[in-house]
Homo-oligomer: A and B are copies of this chain.
Amino acid sequence: MRVTPRPVKIALAQIDTTVGAFEANAARMVDRAREAAEKGAELVLFPELALCGYPPKDFLELGEFVDRCRAALEELSTHAVFDRIAALVGFPERHRGPGAGLYNAVALLRGGQVAAIVRKSLLPTYDVFDEARYFDPAPESGPLVEVAGVRLGVSICEDLWNDKQFWKQPRYLRDPIEELAAKGAELIVNVSASPYALGKPEIRRRMVGAAARRHGLPVAMCNLVGGNDSLIFDGRSLLVRANGEVQREAAPFREDVLIDELAPRHTQPSNPEARTKGASIISDETAETPAGALAVVAAYETDLSDANCRDLADALTLGIRDYMLKTGFRSAVLGLSGGIDSALTAVLAARALGPQNVTTIAMPSRYTASMSNEDAELLAKRLGVHFHTIALEPIFQAYLKALEPLFAGREPDVTEENLQARIRGTLLMAFSNKTGALLLTTGNKSELGTGFSTLYGDMAGGLAAIGDLSKTAVYALARWFNRQSATDLIPARILSRPPTAELREDQLDEDTLPPYAELDRVLRAHVEEHLGARRLIERGFAEDLVRRVLKLVVQSEYKRRQAAPVLRVTARAFGEGWRFPIAHGYRH
């Protein structure tokens, strides 16, 4: 008979990997493995696809990308540190079956070699995830891997996300954790790249806890940290006891190595009834489909609490910083209008890059109130960022004159409004081209959703820093920043003025859009929960409001298609996770 296994000392090394930077990622893993070994850890986990970075996307279709990653893995496996500590390192593994495709795999490095390989069974192919595009599912879970006398059931991210009890019904045919438990796993290991969304960390804790409790198995989950294009990974790796309690959690939004002992499977048979209690937080309404599961995440978003605002601030700060670092930009520029959106973007940029690396430019027109300029300048001063003013009028006049012959006899309309926005976009891009600063767009999710923005105007830029924040969330986060500072960081008037684009006389956003409080609720249910008009009306939204908002969403699809990448902080952001046709005949 087998001796009851003792606790294993595990290191969760949540590192910030860069896609395609095999050598840099490997070097980072060696450093962390060394650190973990020195502290007595017996096994170190790295995030999903740690060696090639996540998500590698179509690089996976270049044969030599996969080959080079494999070569880097073989080289890494011979490093002396892995004589002292076993490691699980994610990589894409080529197979020879039909399609000659890839597995999303993890290698056990030990004793100078790749001692075992485990493959992912469940491939997320929804929202921003396209894993079925690149990978084939593992035909079966396992094999179990023995480390320090404990049989580990190794799983990869989504493999852990199909607990039928937690989700109230299965999302996939297979449950890899059940399969590993049936094979005799004594501890579940999971290497993840689970992106941040508002409220998601709590879902993750409960979901992992529920699976642990149901199977009486502890779980060690190592999650990716860092920004990769639109996606922000929050880390928060978890050690969860067999009873479902969180034993330890790694830092949010930064690299961390969490080391602790985790006790393997309960030797006492656990009480099945106790196990099932509180196993699900999913309501019947939302658990119907995988999309329904996302709705659960969205449900948390109403909670713009201090803790959630801090998460948002930290997520966006990391997202901006990593985008700049990984694309090689050192400074940023943005237009400062005196409005709330650009104010918040400036605050985030200064926080991410240091104020000395941020330039703000005010570009007042004939419609700009003097208080807008004053507030913009005051904010720039408080933040310590560079500030310039460029007058729009002479350029605007030159355009109007050039267009006069073509526009003779036509009334001014949205054309002239867009023209001003595009002059601003062009000036900012000129500054970007001349100085090498990345232009940050300042549009929010309410604008992106309704098309209340100008393509090639205020939409011009390389990164939409707050493009996944509704106007409501923008205000909440701005107020949170002000509460963090002794005196208001963002001038109070910016927060108290009614929103205006200042593109014509006495313009207010609410002349064009429904009140943001209503708009944002409809948008959230439509975008994050994918509810159509009928379901929204059933939920209690006024029919005319619903039809008006959904019409705006449909009409502005072509704009979003050309928008800058949006830092994703909710269950669904515009961008890669939102794939609607432009040309169609659907009427909500």
Contacts and interface: CB of A to CB of B under 8 A. Distances in A.
A450 interface: no
Interface string A35-76: 000000000000000000101111101111100000000000
A133 B125 CA distance: 5
Contacts of A586: 19-21, 59, 65
Contacts of A132: 125, 132-133
Contacts of A402: 390-391, 394-395, 427
A130 B131 CA distance: 10
A399 to B, nearest CB: 6
Contacts of A326: 583-585
A233 B18 CA distance: 38
Contacts of A288: 100
Contacts of A170: 98-99
A434 B402 CA distance: 14
Contact of A581 (B19, B130, B173, B578): B19
Interface string A92-106: 000001111100000
A499 interface: no
B406 A429 contact: no
Contacts of A327: 558, 582-583
Interface in A527-565: 530-535, 558, 561-565
B430 A585 contact: no
A139 to B, nearest CB: 10
28 contacts: A18-B585, A19-B585, A20-B584, A58-B530, A58-B580, A59-B580, A59-B581, A64-B532, A64-B534, A65-B532, A98-B171, A98-B172, A99-B170, A130-B130, A130-B579, A229-B583, A326-B584, A326-B585, A390-B403, A395-B402, A398-B398, A402-B427, A406-B431, A419-B426, A423-B426, A455-B460, A456-B460, A565-B582
Given A19-B581, A399-B427, 12 more contacts: A18-B584, A24-B585, A58-B530, A101-B289, A132-B132, A227-B583, A390-B406, A391-B402, A395-B399, A395-B402, A418-B429, A419-B426
Interface of A: 18-21, 24, 53, 55-59, 61-65, 97-101, 125-126, 130, 132-133, 169-173, 227-229, 288-291, 322-323, 326-327, 388, 390-391, 394-395, 397-399, 401-403, 405-407, 410, 413-415, 418-419, 422-423, 425-427, 429-431, 433-434, 455-456, 460, 462, 530-535, 558, 561-565, 578-587
